[in-house]
Amino acid sequence: MKMKKIIPLTLLAAVSVNAAAQDVQDALRFSENNYYGTARSISMGNAFTALGGDLGSINLNPAGSAVNSFSQVTFTPNVSIVSTTSDYNAMPSQSTAYGSTLNNSSARFTLPNVGFTLNFDTNARRGLKRVTFGFIANATANYLDDMAAGGRNTATSYAGSLASMMTGVNTSLLNGENGYYGNANVPWNQVTGWQSGMVSTYGSANDQYIGATEKLIDDGKGGQTIQLADAIDQLYGRRSHGNKYDLLLNVGLNISDRVYIGGNLGIVSMDYTRNEYFKEIAVDPDKFGVEFDNGSGGVSKTYFNSLRYRYSYDMQGGGVYAKFGIIAVPIDGLRIGAAIQTPTANWITEHWQHAGETWYQSNVFDANATSPKGEYKYKFVSPFRANFGVAYTFGGWGLVSADYEICDYSTMKFKETDTNDNTVFDNGVNRDIKNFTGAAHALRLGAEVKPVPQFAIRAGYNFTSSPERYIDNLTGKKMTPKAYKHSLAAGVGYSSKGSFFCDLAFRWTKNPYEYVYPYDSYIEGELSPEIRNRARFYDVVATFGWRF
């Protein structure tokens, strides 16, 4: 092809289809908890730090297992639905208005709770009255996601950004499979973009690139520059799924029916899969003329039609932590609880793969490429967290409860597994974690009313502040965005006079806006597209349990 680009500009993307290295968003994904549990705990907003007695509460406060005088077993099926609303601003430098809105949704079946506790009576009248052992699996995150957004752009393109970032890279580093492994300084998306025909060199240079969506023009000063050939339609899409579970080995002690203490050995199990794509389509292909060297000293001309870049990523991880908690009953009806959790040591294996396709009006010029599947193993330490609660029970007919939880995400840290040299992490993502994260605060409220002994009506609310931070341009201070997550929940429960009980819950969660930048800004004065996305989650949960 002929042609090149203007100077590369600063990296603006926070989330990108060409991302491959670990970043702050990965750290938050591995660390943040969105508690599930049983239908009862979910319907009461998981405000159970001071209550206990429910298997969904034991990862909040290990002392909760000691509250009951019986053993129990539960399992909890759930249907999760995510609904996203996404707006696209193709040229934010020219207008702050978002264009068309796209809505997407997806559903998935999960099992957010299963487990049992065994209660042993010591027959003591005072002191240690009962000992409880338990094994419980409670979900602490659901990674379900489905979003898409698009619009028309007349200023920038993914192919143009890719070409700009490749300036100075010799084509000899980009060919064959060696292009992916031969030079660690060349990102895989650039190699794939070259091999799939999204970019090419122009003129006689072998380290100057132009995108398939661009054209070379005279600048009026005796030189040449590059610009988007004409209008293109762009579309970004993303789907993901996965879960994070806490597998709990629990012991709880009842001291004189006034103090309950407990401990968990928590084993974390995580899996996460994400697939992304970015498409560019010529509105009028006749304006996207491209000349190729025909290998015989001449050129062949065709017209760009469309391209698609794809990125797939999956992660599996496991970790371990300890948690200790206490519940005290200073007077009848009043309960006070607290728990602290150690940092979690996680061992993570991730895989990624890039792919690209470029189509022209003459399909003899079509090209595609798929990278090898990359793998990397590392250690990640997620932060300590502490939660506190207070609750009041009104005899046997009702209760109210409130929780507060704090977690300082600035202490998260990536580490190498095979060496203690963490220079790459410390000079990169670990520095970003310190600069762009901080403490997040969560408030959980719950209530339960029993109009008759066998039937309960429940409600709950959650509020969580953002763990992310940004630097104020005027003051240079580290600031917390006003980005809050809210959840509302409600449910009912039935408890037979025998051992069986059943609970139902519905939870609605609204996430704050997420901003996605599909590719890096590369032209001075022109920002890359901005996507504003909001996700809402709906969980329909049922718990079936037996006491014995």
Per-residue pLDDT tens digits for 468-527: 999 988 888 899 999 999 999 999 999 999 999 999 999 999 999 999 999 999 999 999
183: Cα separation from own chain's centroid: 30
**pLDDT at residue 297 is higher than 80:** no
Q: What is the Cα–Cα distance from 256 to 533, expressed in whole angstroms?
A: 52
For residue 317, the cross-strand partners are 270, 348
Which amino acid is located at 284 in the chain?
D
Nearest to 368 by CA among 172, 194, 212: 194
SS3 label, residue 167: coil
pLDDT at 473: 86
| pLDDT for 291 | 84
Query: From start to end of 90-231, where are the E strands?
Result: 101-121, 128-142, 145-153, 199-201, 209-211, 214-218, 224-228
Asked whether 478 and 502 are in contact (CB, 8 A), the reply is: no
Please, how many CA atoms are within 13 Å of residue 171, restricted to the half-sphere of its CB? 14
Give one word for 185, left, alpha or beta, with left for phi > 0 and alpha for psi -120 to 50. alpha
Q: How far apart are the C-alpha atoms of 320 and 247, rounded to whole Å?
A: 9
Distance of alpha carbon 130 from its chain centroid, rounded?
Answer: 41
Question: Average pLDDT for residues 323-330, to the nearest whole number?
Answer: 98
pLDDT digits (tens, 9 = 90+) for 87-110: 999 999 999 999 989 999 999 999
**Is residue 90 within 8 Å of 529, Cβ to Cβ?**
yes
Distance CA 219, CA 212 (A): 20
Residue 223's SS3 state is coil
Q: Is the pLDDT of residue 14 over 60?
A: no
* Confidence at residue 512, expressed as pLDDT on a 0 to 100 scale: 96
HSE-up (13 A, CA, CB side) for residue 290: 31
- The single-letter DSSP state of residue 371 is P
Mean pLDDT of the chain: 93
Distance of CA 141 to the CA centre of its chain: 9
* pLDDT tier for residue 13 given thresholds of 50, 70 and 90: very low
pLDDT given at position 5:
31
Compute CA distances 317 → 37, 278, 313, 515, whole Å: 21, 28, 13, 27
The answer, yes or no, to whether residue 466 has pLDDT greater than 60, is yes
Distances (CA, A) of 235 to 147, 243, 264, 386: 11, 27, 46, 42
Asked whether residue 183 carries a pLDDT value surpassing 80, the answer given is no
Measuring CA to CA, how many Å separate 423 from each of 19, 346, 349, 419?
A: 20, 19, 20, 10
Tokens of 210: 């132009």
Q: Mean pLDDT across the stretch 241-250?
A: 98
Looking at 53-201, list the stretches that DSSP marks H as alpha helix, in order from N- to C-terminal side. Answer: 158-165, 178-181, 188-195
What was the pLDDT predicted at 15? 36
The yes-or-no verdict on residue 219 having pLDDT over 90 is no
Please classify residue 119 by burial: count the beta carbons closer than 10 Å to its beta carbon, then call 0-12 exposed, 13-18 middle and 19+ buried. buried
pLDDT at position 136 is 98
Task: Reply yes or no on whether the pLDDT at 9 is more than 50.
Answer: no
**pLDDT in the model for residue 3:** 36
E strand or H helix that includes residue 41: helix 39-43
Supply the DSSP string of 6-35, one letter for each residue.
--------SS-TT--S--HHHHHHHH----
**Dist CA 15 CA 25 (whole Å):** 8
Which tokens sit at 231? 């209008």
pLDDT at 457 over 90: yes
* pLDDT tens per residue across span 534-546: 999 999 999 999 9
What is the per-residue pLDDT across 115-140, written as a single tens digit (0 to 9) for each? 999 999 999 999 999 999 999 999 99
pLDDT reported for residue 298: 77
Structure tokens at 534: 């909001």
Please tell me the chain's helix, strand, coil percentages from 3-state DSSP, rounded to the nearest 5.
10, 55, 35
- How many whole angstroms separate alpha carbon 247 and alpha carbon 381? 18
Predicted pLDDT of residue 184? 67
Q: Where are the beta strands (DSSP E) in 256-342?
A: 259-282, 289-293, 299-328, 334-341
Predicted model pTM: 0.91
Q: What average pLDDT does the segment 282-310 reach?
A: 89
Backbone angles phi, psi at 380, to 5 degrees: -135, 130
Q: Please give the Cα distance from 340 to 405 (Å, whole number).
A: 10
Decide if pLDDT at 1 tops 70: no
| Distance of alpha carbon 297 from alpha carbon 329, whole angstroms | 89
pLDDT at 11 over 50: no
* Mean predicted confidence (pLDDT) in 28-42: 97
